[in-house]
Structure 1
Amino acid sequence: MTRSTAPPRLGIRANLAQFSLLVTINALVGGVLGQERTVLPLLAGQTFHLTGYTFLLTYVLAFGVTKAATNYFAGTWSDRFGRKPVLLAGWLVAIPIPVLLIWAPTWEWVVAANVLLGVNQGLTWSTTVIMKIDLAGPARRGLAMGLNEAAGYLAVALTAVATGYLAARYGLRPAPFLLGASYVALGIGLSGLTVRETRGHARLEAGRHAARSDGRHDHLHAGLTSREVFANTSLREPALSAASQAGMVNNLNDGLAWGLFPILFATAGLSISRIGILAAVYPAVWGAGQLVTGMLSDRLGRKHFITAGMLIQAAALALVALAGTFFVWLPAAILLGAGTAMVYPTLLAVVGDVAHPAWRARAVGVYRLWRDGGFAVGAVLAGIIADLWGLRAAVWVVAALTAVSGIIVAVRMYETHPETRRVQR
């Protein structure tokens, strides 16, 4: 007997069970990333005795390059093979990561683990983004992305705190990475047994898709080739290209925070527990803030949220460069998290607003290719500058780049949310 299935419906409420499940799965994805946040920079110095910031940041570079490339393929493969197989493949790739980190005899093993981590994050996080956009429909994309990114980055923050505690109590290895192993096991089970395919929701939205009244998107029809999707998302289309460069600079910031902030804090004499708090506060504010900012961008619009968020990040980075104590770095981390929360889900919502449902998964992949390429750019740039002129000089340069990125968004991007456009007219 064949089991009948209900036809797909759009909306978060109409798909609440699957949407909530995908939020939970993305929290596990974030947890796998968070297991490294506090511990790995300390492991590099204390266990492997690395000198030179550029060499130390090879693990961020390896992660950034592979995650950026995998994001692109995740979008293409999601259209070709379906969302669920790509999600499950990403979890299977993660199985060796905790083992490699626990047993690594040399730094090259850590770099290899981060190559796998980049593939894991690119496949799983990209696919949960695509699936939530499929389910939510056009009206609440900002809220959908806020919930997705909040779950992921709150998990990063909580895991950073937990691994910092485990490292302080039991040592840098193996305890912190056993937590990551439990996340991988749960992710495989939930993705394989309970997640349902969402391509049908994208096809439903494509059948209802209406063109903009101002004709701005007339050239972005359903039949774009992958090459045309890449060109429009990267360069040609103003909103998509502005989002792509802002995403890259945003993750350049995160690569800096991930790779160099713990070292900067350690040079000031902070304890492992306080470094863990600072490493967690930034993604915690980032994660929790997206619960509000994604929803507000559905009401107030995307462009100004992104511009303000980039400028707030620049100010926070400048404060990090100026400060030298825990009690000044703490508000700087809060400010950096708040600015990132304004930007992160809103940029994804812009891609969802502009891209046609027929090629939206590919556009998300291209956007995330550029965005997560920021990890690699940040690792190289910050590492070289830190080696030549010091840690604080690297933070100052990234702060300036972030301010310039915000100005580019203000000049180049137009408002993309349909409700806001109607109010503005």
Structure 2
Amino acid sequence: MTLATRRRSPQRPAPPHSGAPHPGGPHPRGPRPGGRPIRLGLRANLAQFGLLVAVNALVGGLLGQERTVLPLLADRTFHLSAHTGALTYILAFGATKAVTNLFAGALSDRYGRKPVLVAGWLVALPIPAMLAWGPTWGWIVAANVLLGVNQGLTWFTTVIMKIDLAGPARRGLAMGLNEAAGYLAVAVTATATGAIAAHWGLRPAPFLLGAAYAALGLGLAAAAVRETREHARAEAAAHPAAAGGQPRLGTARIARTTSLGDRALSAASWAGMVNNLNDALAWGLFPLLYAAHGLDLGRIGILAALYPAVWGAGQLLTGWWSDRVGRKHLITAGMLIQAAALGLVAVGTTFPVWVAAQALLGAGTALVYPTLLAVIGDVAHPAWRARAVGVYRLWRDGGFAVGALVAGVLADAYGLTTAVWAVAALTAAAGATVAVRMYETRPRAAAEAPVG
């Protein structure tokens, strides 16, 4: 059955490779070069999976060094009064990361996952120094171009490598662990850099953490991480009729299918873009909104960290939960909860109200983030899954660029509160789109499969 035929079916469509258990049970095996069998599953690949979780924590930490400090740096050090101009670093980051995701998928299929991961960490090396000592705002924007490349290559490969290792039965859990590690590290680093900045200033001290993350990440990627592309090939070999018998789709066809053609993939792409649109708002404008109401740098740092902390910790549960109850309803609920949280930020004027709003925003995002990645992994054939993830992440991380433009323009024209309300409305609309358009993609055997 082709993807097009599946969409025309009046019954709930089944994800392409969920119709039957893998040959030989939940752990397909295949030949590894050198004779060792390849096994899928978390337990079978625990050491390597755990290492990739640690690597992605470093990826998140590199991003987290900016969350508290950079909006205030734009305002206090570089004196950028227009919100649109101040958010140029998020625009540069988001646009670069979005495009890099697309190329990362094709490169990881062609050359392997590990070379792409190592390349991403090499790009990261100059970023902390540029942030710490860059003499003009142009240096900060250039550092965020490099950060977009770094995050597009490294976060992408840690995602796809975990999907490769985990197999279909525990894909949601795998994505939950991956995203939890990354965003808990964002939260910890945002808190740490806020505290460092309160004592030693906005530059250079907070960015020394980023330098340590980059050096350690490069060392682990080069010396300890192993290639996982053969795991994807083993899974593909176990499913010769998967994805409607279309394991050899071209990149242009994959882009169309992910963006528009398949109802689940396209709904996930739209929801992912809006999710990161509101994350751009939280990253770039929330610290300015809190400062305008008189909060000191320490409390701004707590609020900046609370959202990704709840988001990160929550994914430890929500990824696993989506393996049990399905993807669609968690995504719908998460988008609507985020919309409500943004409304609470807009009406709030005190620290306790914003604490509640940030926690609610983190909970909603936790429901959405790993689950959207699991949807892509459910539907895409292993032979073209990396490129499908790249297209999805092109749309999702494009939300940073769209969010920076939309939020900045609206904040300059109508004020910070209006910008928050507008993004809340877009987030609610995305939740409604998922409810109407997406079909359930969770593999039917996942709930009954043993932990592997």
**2:177 pairs with 1:152:** no
* Map of 2:222 onto structure 1: 192
* Map of 2:409 onto structure 1: 384
Q: Supply the distance in 2 between the matched residues of 1:356 and 1:168 (Cα, whole angstroms).
A: 49
**2:60 pairs with 1:69:** no
Secondary structure, counterpart of 1:287 in structure 2:
helix
Pairing partner for 1:347 from 355, 372, 375: 372
Secondary structure, counterpart of 2:67 in structure 1:
coil
Q: Supply the distance in 2 between the matched residues of 1:267 and 1:107 (Cα, whole angstroms).
A: 22
1:321-376 alpha-carbon deviations (Å, 9 max, x no partner) = 00011110000000000000000000000000000000000000000000000000
**2:80 pairs with 1:50:** yes
1:231-251 alpha-carbon deviations (Å, 9 max, x no partner) = 000001000000000000000
* Map of 1:38 onto structure 2: 68
**2:305 pairs with 1:280:** yes
1:243-300 alpha-carbon deviations (Å, 9 max, x no partner) = 0000000000100000000000000000000000000000000000000000000000
Pairing partner for 1:21 from 51, 60, 67: 51
Residue 136 of structure 1 and its aligned partner are, at CA, apart by 0.1
* Residue identity opposite 2:377 in structure 1: G
**2:162 pairs with 1:129:** no
Q: Supply the distance in 2 between the matched residues of 1:373 and 1:261 (Cα, whole angstroms).
A: 20
**2:319 pairs with 1:294:** yes
* Residue identity opposite 1:138 in structure 2: P
Q: Supply the distance in 2 between the matched residues of 1:271 and 1:208 (Cα, whole angstroms).
A: 57
Residue 15 of structure 1 and its aligned partner are, at CA, apart by 0.2
Q: 1:402 to 1:159 in 2, by over 3 A?
A: same
* Residue identity opposite 2:307 in structure 1: Y
Q: Supply the distance in 1 between the matched residues of 2:35 and 2:400 (Cα, whole angstroms).
A: 42
* Map of 2:246 onto structure 1: 221
Residue 7 of structure 1 and its aligned partner are, at CA, apart by 2.1
Q: 1:298 to 1:46 in 2, by over 3 A?
A: same
Equivalent pair of 2:324/2:447 in contact (CA under 8 Å): no
- Residue-pair matches, total: 416
**2:262 pairs with 1:237:** yes
* Residue identity opposite 1:19 in structure 2: F
Equivalent pair of 1:415/1:421 in contact (CA under 8 Å): no
* Map of 1:59 onto structure 2: 89
* Map of 1:416 onto structure 2: 441
* Map of 2:124 onto structure 1: 94
Structure 2: where are the runs of 5+ without partners? Answer: 1-32
Residue 6 of structure 1 and its aligned partner are, at CA, apart by 2.3
Give me the CA root mean square deviation: 1.3
Q: Supply the distance in 2 between the matched residues of 1:62 and 1:56 (Cα, whole angstroms).
A: 11
* Map of 2:238 onto structure 1: 208
Q: Supply the distance in 1 between the matched residues of 2:398 and 2:96 (Cα, whole angstroms).
A: 9
* Residue identity opposite 1:98 in structure 2: P
Q: Supply the distance in 2 between the matched residues of 1:8 and 1:111 (Cα, whole angstroms).
A: 43
Q: Supply the distance in 2 between the matched residues of 1:291 and 1:164 (Cα, whole angstroms).
A: 25
Secondary structure, counterpart of 2:39 in structure 1:
coil
Residue 209 of structure 1 and its aligned partner are, at CA, apart by 1.8
**Bigger helix share:** 1
Q: Supply the distance in 1 between the matched residues of 2:286 and 2:246 (Cα, whole angstroms).
A: 44
Q: Supply the distance in 2 between the matched residues of 1:231 and 1:123 (Cα, whole angstroms).
A: 22
Residue 149 of structure 1 and its aligned partner are, at CA, apart by 0.2
* Map of 2:359 onto structure 1: 334
Q: Supply the distance in 2 between the matched residues of 1:119 and 1:209 (Cα, whole angstroms).
A: 33
Residue 421 of structure 1 and its aligned partner are, at CA, apart by 9.4
Q: Supply the distance in 1 between the matched residues of 2:445 and 2:373 (Cα, whole angstroms).
A: 17
Residue 23 of structure 1 and its aligned partner are, at CA, apart by 0.2
Q: Supply the distance in 2 between the matched residues of 1:95 and 1:422 (Cα, whole angstroms).
A: 42
Residue 180 of structure 1 and its aligned partner are, at CA, apart by 0.4
Equivalent pair of 1:300/1:420 in contact (CA under 8 Å): no
Equivalent pair of 2:259/2:391 in contact (CA under 8 Å): yes
Q: Supply the distance in 2 between the matched residues of 1:104 and 1:89 (Cα, whole angstroms).
A: 23
Residue 4 of structure 1 and its aligned partner are, at CA, apart by 4.8
Residue 223 of structure 1 and its aligned partner are, at CA, apart by 1.2
Q: Supply the distance in 2 between the matched residues of 1:415 and 1:406 (Cα, whole angstroms).
A: 15
* Residue identity opposite 2:296 in structure 1: S
Equivalent pair of 1:91/1:124 in contact (CA under 8 Å): yes
* Map of 1:325 onto structure 2: 350
The equivalences for 1:367-382 within 5 A come to: 367-382=392-407
Q: Supply the distance in 2 between the matched residues of 1:56 and 1:206 (Cα, whole angstroms).
A: 46
Equivalent pair of 2:168/2:446 in contact (CA under 8 Å): no
Equivalent pair of 1:299/1:420 in contact (CA under 8 Å): no
Equivalent pair of 2:116/2:154 in contact (CA under 8 Å): yes
Q: Supply the distance in 1 between the matched residues of 2:387 and 2:95 (Cα, whole angstroms).
A: 18
Structure 1: where are the runs of 5+ without partners? Answer: none
Residue 5 of structure 1 and its aligned partner are, at CA, apart by 6.0
Residue 46 of structure 1 and its aligned partner are, at CA, apart by 0.9
In the superposition, the TM-score normalised over structure 1's length comes to 0.96
Q: Percent identity among equivalent residues?
A: 73
